Amino acid sequence: MKNNLAPIREETRMIIRILKELSIVSTSHVLIELKDWNNQRKTNENNPRNITPAMSLDSQTVWQRFLEKVRDKEKELEVEEGYLPPEDWSQIDKIGEGIGDIFSTENGEFDRAGGLAFPFGTLIGARMFGPLAGIGCYGNGDWEFPVFFIIYIGTDDQFHSYVPKNGNTFNHNSIQAFGNSDDDFSYLTSWAIVNGSSAELDENILFENVKLIFNEKEILLDIAENVHVIK
């Protein structure tokens, strides 16, 4: 097998030799820097979406800490308790960074008591997603089909969000919630063909068609594969 690392190693040796001769830096310092760089490279390869790992906690702890954050935000914005709009609670800590522009946070829910958005059901609310303690949520604008996401506490002790791709209800081509792109129906048609669905699609009832894409098992597998829990 051809060793593709040989040229890199030779180049590294040359760099170290030149730096030593110029007395710019010690060999040990360079090696430490190279080790750190290599570890970061491996981390990026294993985690191409740069998803912050989660702390190993129980779901009740995550739930209580999130409610505390929500109450603090309510006091900050002088909002009546229990009436903090999604556009505000979705911006706690680093939650908004994970959501990005996939969907609007005009509407949303993180509590099962607030109503289970079909088709997400019991994915909503505080629960364990395998070894990950999180809170299942959904968000959408009035013109959009809801998109599922989770919030969790990262290893930086901040709340983060993750939007699963597999099994989730958004257009994977446009990377936006259904209701934003002109190719929504063509995407659904292609999805049905690729996945062997025999359902009759109707462009006039787009959101009814979107429900076909939802797959709880795939969502849970996506979360398990992409949000790692650090014990």
Amino acid in the structure at residue 192 = A
- Could you check whether the bond before residue 48 is cis, i.e. omega within 30 degrees of 0? no
Beta-carbon count within 10 A of 17 CB: 11
Q: What does each C-alpha distance from 166 to 18, 67, 123, 213 come to in angstroms?
A: 49, 28, 15, 9
Query: Which tens digit of pLDDT belongs to each residue from 164-223?
Result: 999 999 999 999 999 999 999 999 999 999 888 888 888 888 888 898 999 999 999 999
Q: Considering only 7-16, 23-32, 188-197, 201-210, which range has the smallest mean pLDDT?
A: 23-32
Cβ-defined contacts of 37-45 (< 8 Å, 24+): none
CA 123 to CA 147: how far, in whole Å? 12
The larger pLDDT score, comparing residue 196 to residue 114, is at 196
For 43, phi then psi, to 5°, come to -60, -45
Q: How many residues does the chain have?
A: 231
Write the Ramachandran bin of 54: left for phi over 0, alpha for psi from -120 to 50, otherwise beta. Answer: beta
pLDDT for res 20: 55
Q: State phi, psi for 144 to the nearest 5 degrees.
A: -115, 150
pTM: 0.78
